Amino acid sequence: MPNHLAGETSPYLLQHADNPVDWYPWGEEALVLARTQNKPILLSIGYSACHWCHVMAQESFEDQEVAAAMNEYFINIKVDREERPDLDQIYQTAHYMLNHRSGGWPLTMFLTPEQKPFFGGTYFPKEPRHGMPGFLELLPKIAEIYRTRREDIEQQNSALLKILAETLPATSVNISVFSRHLIEQAVTQLLENFDREYGGLGSAPKFLHPAELKFCLQCYFSENDTQAQYIVAYTLEKMANGGIYDQLGGGFYRYSTDQYWCIPHFEKMLYDNGPLLQLYADAWLATRNSLFKRIVEETAAWVMREMQFGQKEGGYYSALDADSEHEEGKFYVWDKDEIACVLTADEYTVIAPYYGLSRLPNFENKYWHLEINQSVAAIANDMGISQEEVQQRIESARHKLFNKREQRVHPGRDEKTLVSWNGLMIKGMARAGMIFGSSEWIKSAMLAVDFIRATLWKNNRLLATFKDGKAHLNAYLDDYAFLLDGLLELMQVEFRQSDLDFAIALAEVLLDQFEDKQLGGFFFTSHDHERLIHRPKTGQDNAIPSGNGLVAISLQRLGHLLGEYRYLQSAERTLKLFYPEMRHHPSVYCSLLIVLKEWLTLPQIVILRGKGALLSEWHRALVLHAPATIVLALPMELTGLPPSLNKPLSVDQGVNAWVCQGEKCLPEITDLQELLQVCKVKGRMLFPL
């Protein structure tokens, strides 16, 4: 018999609907049951693409003996961390406080009926192994602790809730002057953390850090910081050639288990690939490295092929699983003999050195996970043939290997639409489409926006998730922040009045429902959200950028575009709130540092008015010439524009440009070369046009 998860939309929860564990979704039914029966709660948080979540499910949650113990001692609640990031944030933080080490997934927490955690961990094996306690032995011990040590638990809970409250930023210092020194200090810290041999930040396990890399690229575009640019270019090249990237199908996996970008955990997440699309496109602008262009093209193709549904709807799916046929990476790794059977002899002689097949297996000592091991030029030199011939053989071989791989059992796909992650991909596809002139990618982003507006925007509020015809759950800060950021990017690609109206509506909800009017900044949950034991307000970037950072960036830019002082004030209050924390370790606040950069030096905004092909020509030239400039190309036939954007056209059949910083605008410009001269980045052109 299915348990209480059978009516849910989350693919992760539905994976557990037939477990013998009497799972409940998070909600009043389960919480009331815990209180009335005076039972502790066993809270398990994971997500559908998570390898170790699958392992614990197979070992414990599908096991009759373990399930019987769970059902006897606990009220069992299963949570999809992607649908309930509010709960995940709270209990990951609690795990860190209880165990003095970072958590992860699956997260296994034991709570009082009042939702207060008193013990927790991540993955537990069924039986003791490698120094880890066995889950089956642990369950009765935890239940016994709850029965016999209530007073100790209450004391611990009081201390934990106090520490949680102290994690909220609270400034009593009057910040009178913002300093550019924080930006310089952050670059210095990132350089210290930069792996100069293999690229990336930190050591294994090595994550992607798109927010930090984006900040470095911004420093290059605005200040010509070549050290910051080197961090980005070197890291992106190493990632693109490594096993962290799907060399056949495009798209990046979640993180590398080693420092070399060789062997990843194989899940592919929408939230990683959206920011990386933008990053690789902007890095191409900065370097003209053809590798970066190829990565954008292949990743965008993967997004449209595997992660977007419907030609008329167009929302993006959430993730692809790490596992297929109950084995991690099985879909992606190769037996060398299988490769040799698929290819011609000429193709194999090139592919073998290219992907390092002559070396020992790099995955579980028996399979090869593809990474680029030797350059085209080196292979051509060794074989005495042209680079063009080598490249042709590689492309032919890749095509055959991809088609062969397509015949395998595919990893599962999490087919729910999350507004927040869609916002990240909307921005990535829009930005890449603008830089490379791809109308297909731009249309993809527009379809996603239109789908969200039609399906998840109800009564002037966002819902967080959609699947199987059902939209539900009160949206979070990241949903509003990332979608607003995506809309501002899309408006720069192809302006639609409906997108501007939507952006303004989102900004108003943010100010009304999320902003802390007293101290500044934005809570992760709205004022009318379900009451939980803690209400986070975070400014640090993690795997995804900080919601507070992106809200402040967007409000600051929208405030300048519309002349809306309330938006500018809100962004400044957010910056002031987090500024004392930023001074201690600025490099973990890279999104907020971009807010600081644009507060210290107002962003350059160009409004173009004109018609047809000429307007598009001017727009394209500016995109390639001035990457840090905000550009809106507004056809003359548009009506109903706000006064700040409703510039007149004074040249017949031509284009007019207004270059502004804040409220100050230069006289209109009617010559493209003059405009490009004015918009030079710190007096330099990145590349001749």
Q: How far is residue 419's CA from residue 424's CA, in Å, rounded to a whole number?
A: 9
pLDDT (average), residues 584-589? 96
* Measured distance between the N- and C-terminal CA atoms of the chain, rounded to whole angstroms: 67
Beta strands, E only, 323-451: 323-324, 327-328, 413-414, 417-418
Strands 656-661 and 604-610: antiparallel
Q: Is the pLDDT of residue 424 over 80?
A: yes
Q: Is the pLDDT of residue 242 over 80?
A: yes
Helix (H) or strand (E) holding 660: strand 656-661
pLDDT digits (tens, 9 = 90+) for 489-523: 999 999 999 999 999 999 999 999 999 999 999 99
pLDDT (average), residues 545-565? 97
Q: How far is residue 667's CA from residue 657's CA, in Å, rounded to a whole number?
A: 9
Q: Is the pLDDT of residue 626 over 70?
A: yes
pLDDT digits (tens, 9 = 90+) for 435-491: 999 999 999 999 999 999 999 999 999 999 999 999 999 999 999 999 999 999 999
Task: Determine contact, residues 571/241, Cβ cutoff 8 Å.
Answer: no
Q: Is the pLDDT of residue 19 over 60?
A: yes
Query: Which pLDDT score, from 0 to 100, does residue 682 have?
Result: 40
**Neighbour-count burial for 478-493, b at 16+ CB within 10 Å, e otherwise:** bbbbbbbbbbbbbbbb
pLDDT digits (tens, 9 = 90+) for 301-325: 999 999 998 756 789 999 999 999 9
3-state secondary structure of 252: strand
Which strand ranges, in their side-by-side order, compose the sheet holding 319-320?
Answer: 268-269, 319-320, 413-414
Beta strands, E only, 382-520: 413-414, 417-418, 457-458, 461-467, 470-474
Q: Which of 283, 302, 291, 301 is nearest to 241 (CA)?
A: 291
Query: Which pLDDT score, from 0 to 100, does residue 616 have?
Result: 94
pLDDT (average), residues 591-616? 95
Work out the mean pLDDT of the chain and round it to a whole number.
95
DSSP one-letter string for 364-376: TTTBB-----S-H
The proportion of the chain whose per-residue pLDDT surpasses 90, expressed as a percent, equals 93
Structure-block tokens of residue 491: 């408006």
Integer angstrom CA distances of residue 273 from 117, 437, 518, 662 = 34, 19, 36, 32
Query: Which pLDDT score, from 0 to 100, does residue 70 have?
Result: 98
pTM of the predicted model as reported, rounded to 2 decimal places: 0.96
Query: Which pLDDT score, from 0 to 100, does residue 97 have?
Result: 96
Q: How far is residue 650's CA from residue 666's CA, in Å, rounded to a whole number?
A: 15
Task: Determine contact, residues 37/75, Cβ cutoff 8 Å.
Answer: yes
Query: Which pLDDT score, from 0 to 100, does residue 172 have?
Result: 63
Query: Which pLDDT score, from 0 to 100, does residue 637 have?
Result: 87
pLDDT (average), residues 108-134? 95
Q: How far is residue 175's CA from residue 228's CA, in Å, rounded to a whole number?
A: 28
Amino acid at 565: Y
Distance of CA 228 to the CA centre of its chain: 21
pLDDT (average), residues 515-532? 97
Q: Is the pLDDT of residue 84 over 50?
A: yes
